[in-house]
């Protein structure tokens, strides 16, 4: 007899399989359009079989509940994601690319975690696989469980817990609407932004397939592997501006986009995260432009250079990771600024990676208030975020996450340094954990990953997943108490 805990987990896994099967239809259609029957057989079989199996399975294992222990929610999230990754690796393994299974698994992990890295050049990857990657980027950014909840008669409170475990981060969202309406609106917003970006890219001159793949990948801050392996220096200004604008929008806290659609502009401007995120992008771009201006003896066009630097800084800070400027000519000071701020990444509850702007703000406020108390020991001044005092539990979770992020980064760099030089190991660990996929002067694509050992690739996959799921699910599975058998329902 299947326990109620297992029924719940299996229900969500099968429901996600059904959604995966439906969302891979565009990849099937592109295979038909370009007469790529070899990939059609593999992707088509996976699409149809996962949809049918998922549809039947989620019906069989449906279990109506009201509340769920967070441990089972974490378990549901990690099992669902691992299932999606292993299934996605099958078309890559069976494809004409002749990839090893480790490389196929690497492609699947990079796809779902929205990390702009690949072992295959875009000019040799079949169009069907490019579309499959883009579809997984899109589902991974919003969250496969979040998408599934939009199509299921699922539970209000459990749905909230699942969303929090899949898209973690301090959101501080104050919106007078039910949580179910919120993630339904989330899906509508992401679909709308993707459609608008597609239309603009078509108007800018990109063909239909490139516009669709680029829109799906860019709105999920997953890089642009289909466009010259993410290097779009040679593309027109219109394409660069469109890609930069939508990458920035997708790196914002979803509550900002939600408030904008609800025309609550006053509440939107009260939050510190938007100001912090946009302010550091603009300030960093100005500072680096100044460095380039001085370094090259004022021989550059300042306005044009500032535009390129601003778009490149946006690429790194949103964790999109595409190349829009020649960073190989940047001085060491400019590179150091980028690398340090890559730790912060995008905003909380967004498709971007990193520590997140909200946690950074809280950490800075905590440090400032701690120093203040050293001077005024009897003062009582609570730490506030957007005018609201933060609970001790919130402060501990945010600051603990930063510590765990740094420890995971150093651990990844340590393992990578077995086969790589120290500089490459440190940079690669950061690029993978923040789901950026690239770093200054380097792109982790074919020709570079060929030299990476199996241990290095497995480590990079672990870092990508830890960064996307915000570490906690992967850390918890190594604790014996996480697997204990008790009553997980309240």
pLDDT tens digit string along 56-86?
998 888 766 666 677 788 888 888 999 999 9
DSSP state of 63: -
pTM attached to this predicted model: 0.90
Residues 442-455: tens digit of each pLDDT: 644 444 576 788 99
Tokens of 83: 């299932």
Residue of 58, 30, 62 lying closest to 44 (CA atoms):
30
Encoded tokens for 370: 């701690």
Task: Return the bridge partners of 389, or none.
Answer: 384
Of 22-36, 136-150, 398-412, 458-472, give the lowest mean pLDDT range: 136-150
* Three-state SS at 443: strand
DSSP class of 385: E
Confidence of residue 160 (pLDDT cuts 50, 70, 90): low
Range with the largest mean pLDDT of 162-171, 195-204, 356-365: 195-204
Q: By 3-state DSSP, what share of the chain in percent is helix, strand and coil, each rounded to 5? A: 65, 0, 30
Nearest to 459 by CA among 426, 427, 412, 414: 412
Cβ pair 216, 134 in contact under 8 A:
yes
Identify the H or E element spanning 384: strand 384-385
CB distance 389 to 382 below 8 Å: yes
How far apart, in Å, do the first and last CA atoms of the chain sit? 21
Place of tokens 């990844």: 412
Contact 230, 443 (CB under 8 A): yes
Overall size of the chain counted in residues: 490
Q: With residue 389 as reference, give the H or E element that holds it.
A: strand 388-389
How far is CA 136 from each of CA 113, 426, 456, 476, rounded to the nearest angstrom? Answer: 8, 27, 23, 25
For 59, the token pair is 């019906």
- Structure tokens given for 214: 């680029």
Confidence of residue 106 (pLDDT cuts 50, 70, 90): very high
Strands 388-389 and 442-443: unpaired
∠ CA(147), CA(152), CA(158), 5° rounding?
A: 80
Tokens of 490: 């309240």
* Confidence bin at 113 (pLDDT 50/70/90): very high
Taking the C-alpha atoms of residue 467 and residue 463, their distance in angstroms, rounded to an integer, is: 6
- Per-residue confidence band for 30, with pLDDT thresholds at 50, 70 and 90: very high
Q: How many CB atoms lie within 10 A of CB 135?
A: 23
Task: Identify whether the C-beta of residue 199 lies closer than 8 Å to the C-beta of residue 214.
Answer: no
How far apart are the C-alpha atoms of 152 and 154, rounded to whole Å?
5
Of 211, 74, 194, nearest to 488 by C-alpha is 74
Lowest mean pLDDT among 289-303, 346-360, 406-420: 289-303
Residue 417 C-beta-side C-alpha neighbours within 13 Å: 11
CA dihedral 52, 57, 58, 63 (to 10 degrees): 170
């Amino acid at each position: 007899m299947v326990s109620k805990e297992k029924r719940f987990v299996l229900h969500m896994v099968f429901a996600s399989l059904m959604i995966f099967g439906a969302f891979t239809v565009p990849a099937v259609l592109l295979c038909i359009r370009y007469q790529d029957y070899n990939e059609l057989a593999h992707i088509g079989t996976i699409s149809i079989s996962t949809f049918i199996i998922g549809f039947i399975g989620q019906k069989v294992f449906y279990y109506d509940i009201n509340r769920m222990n967070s441990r089972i929610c974490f378990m549901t999230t990690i099992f669902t994601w691992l299932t999606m990754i292993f299934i996605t690796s099958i078309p890559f393994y069976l494809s004409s690319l002749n990839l090893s299974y480790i490389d196929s698994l690497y492609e699947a992990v990079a796809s779902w975690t929205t990390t702009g890295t690949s072992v295959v050049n875009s000019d040799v990857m079949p169009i069907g696989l490019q579309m499959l990657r883009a579809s997984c980027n899109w589902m991974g950014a919003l969250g496969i469980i979040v998408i599934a909840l939009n199509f299921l008669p699922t539970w209000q409170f459990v749905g909230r817990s699942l969303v929090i475990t899949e898209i973690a981060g301090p959101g501080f969202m104050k919106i007078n609407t039910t949580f179910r309406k919120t993630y339904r609106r989330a899906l509508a917003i992401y679909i709308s932004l993707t459609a608008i970006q597609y239309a603009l890219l078509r108007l800018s001159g990109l063909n239909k397939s490139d516009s669709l793949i680029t829109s799906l990948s860019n709105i999920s801050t997953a890089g642009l592997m289909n466009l010259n392996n993410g290097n779009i220096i040679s593309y027109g200004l219109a394409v660069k501006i469109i890609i930069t604008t939508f990458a920035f929008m997708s790196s914002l806290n979803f509550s900002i986009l939600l408030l904008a659609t609800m025309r609550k502009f006053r509440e939107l401007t009260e939050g510190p995260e938007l100001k912090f995120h946009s302010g550091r992008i603009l300030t960093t771009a100005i500072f680096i432009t100044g460095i380039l201006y001085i370094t090259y003896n004022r021989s550059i066009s300042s306005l044009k250079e500032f535009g390129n630097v601003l778009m490149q800084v946006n690429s790194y800070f949103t964790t999109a990771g595409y190349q829009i400027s020649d960073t190989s000519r940047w001085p060491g000071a400019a590179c150091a600024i980028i690398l340090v701020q890559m730790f912060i990444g995008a905003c909380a509850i967004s498709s971007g990676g990193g520590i997140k702007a909200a946690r950074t703000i809280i950490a800075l406020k905590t440090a400032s208030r701690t120093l203040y108390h050293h001077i005024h020991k009897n003062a009582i001044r609570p730490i506030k975020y957007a005018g609201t005092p933060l609970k001790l539990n919130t402060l501990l979770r945010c600051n603990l996450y930063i510590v765990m992020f740094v420890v995971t980064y150093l651990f990844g760099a340590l393992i990578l340094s077995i086969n790589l030089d120290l500089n490459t190991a440190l940079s690669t660990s950061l690029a993978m954990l923040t789901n950026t996929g690239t770093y200054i002067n380097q792109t982790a694509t074919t020709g570079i990953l060929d030299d990476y050992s199996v241990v290095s690739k497995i480590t990079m996959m672990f870092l990508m997943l830890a960064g996307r799921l915000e570490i906690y699910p992967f850390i918890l599975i190594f604790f014996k108490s996480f697997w204990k058998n008790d009553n997980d329902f309240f």
